[in-house]
Structure 1
Amino acid sequence: MLRVAFHHFHMLKLFLFIFLTYRVRSDTEQKCEEFTDLNIHNALAGTALKVKLLLYTRTNQNCAESLSEYNTTASTYLDVTKKTVFIVHGLRLTGSTPIWLNDIKELLLSLVDINLIIVDWNRGATTVIYHNAVHNTRRVAEILKKYIDQMLAYGASLDSIYMIGVSLGAHIAGFVGEMYNGTLGRITGLDPAGPSFSGKPPNERLDHTDAKFVDVIHTDIDVLGFREPLGHIDFYPNGGADQPGCPQTLFSGAQFFKCDHQRSVFLFLSSLRRSCNITTYPCDSYLDYKNGKCANCEAFQPMPCPVLGYFADKWKNYLIQKDPSETKAYFDTSGQEPFCMYYYFVDFITWNKSIRRGFIRIKITDSAGNTIESKMNSEAATFQQYRQASIFVGFYEDFDKISRISLTFSTRTLIGPKYKLRILRMRLRSTTDPERLQMCRYDFVLLENIEMTFKPIPCQERDK
C-alpha cells in the first residue's frame, strides 16, 4: 500500500509540474501587444507622447511583439535580413484604433514576407489640439531613428526600409528619411497633412529627397491634405479633392470631414488586394488629363502608364531620373472598392465639310445585356474633315466582350438647328489594356441628340 501511495504521489507531482509548465508557457506565448485604444475623454484631456513599436511577421501575424527602441536582440521575430515596413498613423481625434490598420497588416503580410512594424503613437496623437500632435511628430521620428540605428548595427540595410505614413505620419516618415540623408529605400505618403506644413521648406515636411523613392497620394488637397507635389510621383485621384462616394453635406457627421482624407488609405489598400490595377496618367493638370492630352505615357515606354499604390515603385527608375524629379499623375475612380476605372480612346474620322464642335456620350453593352456609360469627356471635341478627333473616356466596369456600342452626339445648344456628324471611321481602343482587340465601325451618320446603337467589328489592320 505504501509503495502504491508513493507512486501516486510522484505521479501527482509530475502532473502538477507539466500543468504548471504548460500554463506558464501558454501565458507567455499568448501575451500579445495591441494598439493603444483610447477615447474622446483622452483627446479632451490630452495625452503625453508614448511610442510603441508593434512587430508582425508571417510567424506572428496575429500576435504583435512589442519592440524596444534600445535592444533589437530582444526580439524573437525580427529578421533584419528581410524588408522592413513601418506603418505610421496620423492625428487621432477620438483615440480609437484606425479602422484600416488590421487590413493593411494582413494584406502586406499576405503579399510579401516582411517585418511589419506598426508605429503606435496614439498617446501623443490623440488630442483635440492639432498643434500638439504636430509638435510630437519630430519626437516620434527621433525615436524611430534610434530603433533603425539598432537594426543597422545588426545587419539591416537602409535600402530595405520602407515607411508608409498617413497624414501627419507622412511627415514623420519624411523626418526619419531626412535624418538618413535620403538613403531610405522608399516612403509612401498617404494624403500628407496640409495644415502647419503647407508653405514650409523641404526640411520641415515630407520631400522627394527624403528617400530613394517617394510616392504620394493626395485625396483632400482643399481641406486636410497637402496640395503641392512632395514626391518623385504624386497621384491626384479625381483631381485630389472631392472623392466620389464621400458625403457632400455636414449632415453626414464626421464622415464629411474625414472621408476624402481617408480615401488615400483605402486606395492604397485596393492596390494590395490586386483586384485591378489603378492606372494613372502623368499630366500637367487635371483638366488636361480629362481632355485626353496625357493618356499615351510616351515617357515611360516600353513600360505602360504608372499604377497607383504598392506597385508604383516599378516605375522608380523612370521617375527618379526625370528633371525636374517631380511627376504629377491624374486619374478618376469609382466611389467604392476596388475604385478602378477602365479607360478608352474613342477615335473619330469625320467627313463633314464644316467644322463641328460637340460632345459624344458613349455606352457599351456586353453579351448579357449589361450596359455602362462613360464618365468623362469634359470638353467639347472638334471634328474636322478627314482629321482624327479622339475622346478620352472611362467606365466603372470593364467588359470582356463588347457586343454593342451606343453613341449620342450633342452640341448642347438649346436653340438653333440640329446637326449631323458624318463618321468615316469610329475606333474604340483600350489604354488600360493596350493589347486588347480594337473595335471599329465604318460609314455612319449621327443625328444630334439621337442615340445610335450598333454592333462593332474588329478593326482592319490599316486602322490599328
Structure 2
Amino acid sequence: MLRLSFFFSLICLVKTDTDETCPSFTKLSFHSAVVGTGLNVKLMLYTRKNLTCAQVINSTILGNLNVTKKTTFIVHGFRPTGSPPVWMEDLVQSLLSVEDMNVIVVDWNRGATTVIYNHASSKTRKVAEVLKKFIDQVLVEGASLDNIYMIGVSLGAHISGFVGKMYNGQLGRITALGYKEPLANIDFYPNGGLDQPGCPKTILGGLQYFKCDHQRSVYLYLSSLRENCAITAYPCDSYRDYRNGKCVNCGMPQKESCPLLGYYADNWKEYLKQKKPPMTKAFFDTAEEKPFCIYHYFVDIITWNKNIRRGSITIRLTDRAGNTTESKINHEPATFQKYHQVSLLARFNQDLDKVAAISLVFSTGSTIGPKYKLRILRMKLRSLAHPERPQLCRYDLVLMENTETVFQPILCPKLQM
C-alpha cells in the first residue's frame, strides 16, 4: 500500500557535469534558465561506503548499491536559477547517519532549470519514466518495492507520485514536501500550513520572501533527523481546533501515539492502516529558527470572578538556572467563567525540566477603559511532551490586567493529576 507523508512548505534549488573524481550536482547559470535546458537525468549514489563521494549509476551500473537495503531517492524540483539545492548535501548525510541505506540523488537540473515553470513541469513524467526503468532493474537484482522510499520536493513530489502510480501504490513510502491540499495517508501542516515564523512578511525580505516558506518543509524534515528535535504533530480537523487544545490527547496514557514529523512519521503506519479512508491531517507549530521544536503545555485555569472575563494569557517559565521561556496564548480570547476550568494550550521554544517560577499576565486587549482583575482559584501546568512529569499548581491568585504576577508553583495533589 502506498504510504504518503505530505506537509506544506516550498521550493528547492543545484554543479556541472565534468569528469571529476567525485561527481557533483549539475550547476547551471541564470542564462541557462532564460534560454531553457533539455532534459538529462543523472543518478548519484551515496552509501556509508562512499559518504561524501557520489557514484554515478544507471540501470546497468549499480555501483555500491546494496539491493537488500532501503533505497531512498531524493528528487528536487523547479530550478529557476540553475543553482544547486543548498540543503541537498545536508539531507544526504543526515539520512545516512540515521540508517545504513542507499541514497540516490536524482539530478534533473538539466530540465528543471528554466524561468518558465510549465516548461519544467512538462518534463516530470519523463523523469518518472527514467526512475521506473532504473527501479525495474533493481527489482530484477533482488530489491523489494517495500524498501523503495522517495522524498520529493516541489515538482520532485509530483515525480515521486508518478513513480508511485506506475507501481500501483506498492512503493514502500513517499514523502512529498511542497503541497497544500490533503492527498496522503497523513498530511502535516506546520503553523497551519501558510506563513512560516521567521520568514519575511514583505517583499523587502528579498529572495527569501519568495522561497523561505516553501523551503521550510525541507528544513523541518531535516530537523526530524537530528536527535535533539522530535517534532510531534497532532491529528485534528482544523488548525483552530489544534490551537484551542482540542486535539492533543494522543500520546497520553491509554491513547494512540502522536505522529512524528518527517523521517519517523512512518512509525505511525500501524495506526494509519486502521484508518478508512487512510487520510489524516496533523497540525503543529514551530519556532522561528532551527531546530524549530516547540514544547506544549496545558495551562488549566479555574476562576471565581462573579462576571465573565474574556482575554488572553501570557505565561513565562523560569528554571533554577535562570533560563526563561515565554508563551503568548493570544490567538483568540479565552472565556473565563466562575468555577469553570479553561484549558489553554501554551507553546514554548524551550523545554525547562525544573520550573522554579511562573509568571502570568492577563490582558483584555483594550487600551482604554477600566483595568480588570482575573481571580484565579487554581492554576495548573502540565507538560504534553513529558506527561510523566509532576504537574505544578498555584491557588488563590489575583491578576491585575497587564501586570505581571510572579510566583513559585507547588506540586499538585495526586488526586488532581
TM-score between the two structures when normalised by the length of structure 1: 0.83
Cα shift at 1:399 = 1.1
Quick check: 2:39–2:110 contact (8 Å CA) kept in 1?
Answer: yes
C-alpha separation between the residues in 2 aligned to 1:447 and 1:30?
70
Residue of structure 1 equivalent to 2:6: none
Residue of structure 1 equivalent to 2:192: 239
C-alpha separation between the residues in 2 aligned to 1:305 and 1:285?
16
- Cα 1:108–1:282, aligned 2, differ >3 Å: closer, same or farther? same
| Pairing 1:175–2:162 present | yes
Cα shift at 1:270 = 0.7
| Pairing 1:429–2:372 present | no
SS in structure 2 at match of 1:173: helix
| Pairing 1:132–2:119 present | yes
| Pairing 1:117–2:104 present | yes
Quick check: 1:291–1:377 contact (8 Å CA) kept in 2?
Answer: no
Where in structure 1 are there 5+ consecutive unaligned residues?
Answer: 1-28, 192-225
| Pairing 1:393–2:346 present | yes
| Pairing 1:343–2:330 present | no
Cα shift at 1:450 = 2.2
Residue of structure 2 equivalent to 1:142: 129
Quick check: 2:301–2:380 contact (8 Å CA) kept in 1?
Answer: yes
C-alpha separation between the residues in 2 aligned to 1:379 and 1:250?
28
Q: How does 1:75-224 map to 2 (within 5 A)?
A: 75-191=62-178
Q: Deviations over 1:48-71 (max 9, x none)?
A: 1000110110001111111113x1
- Cα 1:301–1:147, aligned 2, differ >3 Å: closer, same or farther? farther
- 1:165 alignment partner AA: G
Q: Deviations over 1:226-248 (max 9, x none)?
A: 33111111111111111111112
C-alpha separation between the residues in 1 aligned to 2:226 and 2:365?
41
| Pairing 1:51–2:41 present | yes
Q: Deviations over 1:134-154 (max 9, x none)?
A: 010000001100000001111
SS in structure 2 at match of 1:345: strand
Quick check: 2:129–2:163 contact (8 Å CA) kept in 1?
Answer: yes
Residue of structure 2 equivalent to 1:31: 21
- 1:391 alignment partner AA: L
Cα shift at 1:106 = 0.6
- 2:81 alignment partner AA: T
SS in structure 2 at match of 1:61: strand
Structure with greater helix share of residues? 1
Cα shift at 1:262 = 0.5
- 2:231 alignment partner AA: I
Residue of structure 2 equivalent to 1:204: none
C-alpha separation between the residues in 1 aligned to 2:203 and 2:405?
42
Residue of structure 1 equivalent to 2:50: 60
| Pairing 1:458–2:411 present | yes
Greater shift after overlay, 171-180 or 35-44? 35-44
C-alpha separation between the residues in 1 aligned to 2:160 and 2:227?
25
Q: Deviations over 1:3-27 (max 9, x none)?
A: xxxxxxxxxxxxxxxxxxxxxxxxx
Q: Select which of 270, 275, 283 maps to 2:228.
A: 275
- Cα 1:178–1:377, aligned 2, differ >3 Å: closer, same or farther? same
Quick check: 2:57–2:63 contact (8 Å CA) kept in 1?
Answer: no
Quick check: 2:360–2:405 contact (8 Å CA) kept in 1?
Answer: yes
| Pairing 1:442–2:376 present | no
SS in structure 1 at match of 2:390: coil
C-alpha separation between the residues in 1 aligned to 2:392 and 2:250?
22
Where in structure 2 are there 5+ consecutive unaligned residues?
Answer: 1-18
SS in structure 2 at match of 1:37: coil
Q: Larger Cα Rg: Structure 1 or Structure 2?
A: 1
Residue of structure 2 equivalent to 1:208: none
Greater shift after overlay, 368-377 or 41-50? 368-377
C-alpha separation between the residues in 1 aligned to 2:313 and 2:50?
55
TM-score between the two structures when normalised by the length of structure 2: 0.92
Cα shift at 1:434 = 1.6
Q: Deviations over 1:291-345 (max 9, x none)?
A: 2221222799544322111011111121232133221111111111000111110
Quick check: 1:50–1:124 contact (8 Å CA) kept in 2?
Answer: yes
Structure with greater strand share of residues? 2
Quick check: 2:313–2:329 contact (8 Å CA) kept in 1?
Answer: no
Quick check: 2:224–2:263 contact (8 Å CA) kept in 1?
Answer: yes
Q: Select which of 253, 257, 264 maps to 1:311.
A: 264
Quick check: 1:290–1:377 contact (8 Å CA) kept in 2?
Answer: no
- 1:361 alignment partner AA: T
Q: How does 1:335-414 map to 2 (within 5 A)?
A: 335-414=288-367
SS in structure 1 at match of 2:231: coil
CA RMSD of superposed structures (Å)? 1.8
Cα shift at 1:388 = 1.2
C-alpha separation between the residues in 1 aligned to 2:106 and 2:93?
16
SS in structure 2 at match of 1:174: helix
Residue of structure 2 equivalent to 1:214: none
Q: Which structure carries more relative contact order (alpha carbon 8 Å, separation 6+)? A: 2
Quick check: 2:313–2:328 contact (8 Å CA) kept in 1?
Answer: no
